[in-house]
Amino acid sequence: MKIINPVLFNDTFQYFDKEIVVEIIDIFINEYAERMSKIHEAIQSKNYADLKFNAHSMKGVVANFAVPDLQALARDLEIAGSEQNLTNVEEKYQKFSEQSQWLVDDLKEIRSQFL
């Protein structure tokens, strides 16, 4: 499933060299699994500070790629950490995980077009 809005993505990166866009994509893809693992570990261990921090970090990274719905899901996880409230957080994480994987897939496709 496509998650990136191509118009917003192109607006964001229109003045960047292709090599820089590829580098930004590569950094996200290379760090993706560890970032997701840290969020999930924080949920499992009820480490609210880590959940808040890692979700906030992921929210900022996701914002670079113009996917506001995914950014909102990251914000929901951040708020759960901030409020120390894990109600429905596992479901929110699963939805975030699924949609962020769509982002990775979209980014891989975009990356191939830049090479």
Top-tier CATH class for 17-108? mainly alpha
Residue 105's pLDDT band (cuts 50, 70, 90): very high
pLDDT in tens, 28-86: 999 999 999 999 999 999 999 999 999 999 999 999 998 999 999 999 999 999 999 99
Cα 96 from chain centroid?
A: 8
Q: Where are the domains of the chain?
A: 17-108
